[in-house]
Structure 1
Amino acid sequence: MEIKELISIYPTLYHMAEFGSWENIKANGLLSTSALLDLYKINGQKRQQIETCHRSESITINCQGLPTAVVRDQKPMSDSALQKVLLDNLTPADWYRILNSKVFFWSSYEKVLKLLNARAYRSKSHDVIAVDTASLIKNYSEKIFLCPYNRGSTIMSPVQRGKDLFKPIQEYDFLYWKKKRGRAQAVTEVCVEGGVDNMLDIVVNVKQMRQQEILATLHS
């Protein structure tokens, strides 16, 4: 896929974050779970559990001098379902490590709305962050990967997934997915290895939302 194509078709990307987390994200970056654990100096058994085990609920972490942070749950996944679809001899623990090394953005507003309205999240409020795709690529092109599926879900009819699910932009077979799904649905997620540390350089707006209702605008 060409970079200019990605920017043209998906000019804005979206991330659903924990309610009230924007100020921390603004100060310290939108970090992957592993990078967040580094920042909060979480090690040992607690870190291993967070990085390699399924999180049925969100986990609160603390570190002196930093605000309380929340590691989000992984409710749409399960070990048993993953075991049926993982390739390359990956285990569920391997898959959780892979996911925890990245930050994920939805390629459209409709996709983040679907998550906001999902059973596990519809009763809660969330900070929804919109970022400019061109600015993200300008700052993080070497760390960006594209994904054709919701890599964090094994609900309904889960697809097989392995080490090559995430492709660098220029290695992503956009024509294949465009033919299979249509132009707007050819990319589902854009992910960044490690996360984004300069959010103010790429953010378009931040809104607190519950389902499709906008409760407040935190940044515009």
Structure 2
Amino acid sequence: MPSLPAKAFHFVDASNWPAVQQEGLCSTDELLRRGAFDTEVEASVRAHRPEGIALPDGRYIRDQRPMPPRALARCLDPGLAPADWYALLNGCVFFWLDPERVQRHRAALRGRPQVLLTFDARALAAAHEAVSHVTPFNIGSAVRKAAPRGLRTLVPLAQWQAKAWASEALTGQAVRAASHRPAELVLRVAAVSDAMRHVTATEVLGAA
């Protein structure tokens, strides 16, 4: 039976760090709900974001450069449009499970100060078992021979622990090996208010 890695990781933009320490981690949807911004701000955040967006309250929403609509449309399951995928991701909180991916993301974020949080992945997932999912690859990227994806790509943690990647495969396609390690832990929740309780290390990257 596959088991979750011991550590999970999340990059916090330095401008968001004070709020994260007080309120935990929020999905993009939740940041918009709490901010009650005007329709123009909300529309710009919910559409594809080729650049990061500074919200009126000072918080920062990251860009979605690796997910341009045309490229994303080519790898989505039938019945899904890019807008559906952006909406799905905006309603989740993401954690890396692969240290190599952490380092690649770290390099990509060099333009802005960050705080890298390390979590006890198993404690975090246990505290949010009902909304915990794993993915076999970075579902926030649709470039460089992007893998096909759909709702099936977010595998409920309990299901993955019982049957590995069986539910992720399309009908008639080969199932990923059980040894294939998950790339992400995804919590399909508005906010992880107890996030800091599960942090085991923090690293300031740049002047936070």
Q: TM-score range by the shorter chain?
A: 0.7 to 0.9
Q: Provide the residue aligned with 2:203 in structure 1.
A: 207
Q: Using a 3 Å threshold, how does the CA distance of structure 1 residues 88 and 180 change in structure 2: closer, same or farther?
A: closer
Alignment of 1:58 onto 2:58? no
Q: Which structure has the highest strand share of the two?
A: 1
Q: 2:153 aligns with which of 165, 178, 191?
A: 165
- Separation in structure 2 between the aligned mates of residue 160 and residue 175 of structure 1, nearest angstrom: 14
Question: Matched residues in 2 for 1:175 and 1:94: separation?
Answer: 23
Query: 2:165 and 2:14 mapped to 1: Cα distance?
Result: 37
Partner of 1:13: 8
AA of the residue aligned to 2:143: I
1:165-201 CA distance string (max 9 Å, x none) = 1011122243669x95784x52000011123111221
2:171 is aligned to: none
Do 1:21 and 1:127's aligned partners in 2 also have CA atoms closer than 8 Å?
A: no
The AA in structure 2 aligned to 1:104 is F
CA contact 1:37–1:43 (8 Å) conserved in 2: no
Deviation at 1:133, TM superposition (A): 1.3
**Backbone CA RMSD of aligned residues:** 2.3
Task: Tell me what 1:196 maps to.
Answer: 192
SS in structure 2 at match of 1:62: coil
Name the residue aligned to 2:95: 105
The alpha-carbon distance between structure 1 residues 164 and 180, as it changes in their structure 2 partners (threshold 3 A), is closer
Output the amino acid matched with 1:31.
Answer: C
Give the distance between the partners of 2:127 and 2:159, measured in 1 at CA: 19
1:143 Cα deviation after fit: 1.1
Q: Quote the sequence identity (%).
A: 26
- Offset, 1:45: 3.7
Partner of 1:95: 85
User: 2:59 aligns to what SS in structure 1?
Assistant: strand
After the TM superposition, list the runs of 4 or more consecutive aligned residues in structure 1 that deviate by more than 6 angstroms: none
Instruction: Give me the whole-angstrom Cα distance separating, in 1, the residues matched to 2:24 and 2:149.
Output: 28
Q: Tell me, yes or no, if structure 1 residue 28 matches structure 2 residue 23.
A: yes
Find the aligned partners of 1:115 and 1:22 in 2 and give their Cα distance.
18
CA offsets 1:51-91 (integer angstroms, 9 cap, x no match): 2x11111111134xxxx211111121111101111113111
- In structure 1, runs of 5+ residues without a counterpart are none
SS in 2 for 1:157: coil
| Partner Cα distance (1:131, 1:180) in 2 | 26
Please give the per-residue CA displacement for 1:65-121, whole angstroms capped at 9, x wherever unaligned: xxx211111121111101111113111111100000001100032221111123xx3
Number of positions where the alignment pairs a residue of Structure 1 with one of Structure 2: 198
Question: Is 1:46 the equivalent of 2:14?
Answer: no
SS in 1 for 2:45: helix
Q: Does 1:77 align with 2:67?
A: yes
Q: Letter of the 1:49 partner, please give it.
A: S
Q: 1:29–1:43: structure 2 CA closer, same or farther, 3 Å change rule?
A: farther
For structure 2, the residue ranges without an aligned partner over 5 or more in a row are 169-174
User: Structure 1 residues 83 and 27 mapped into 2: Cα distance closer, same or farther (>3 Å)?
Assistant: same
Deviations 1:28-52 (A, max 9, x none): 211110011111113534213312x
Aligned residues of 1:57 and 1:75 also touching (Cα < 8 A): yes
Q: TM-score, normalised by structure 2?
A: 0.85
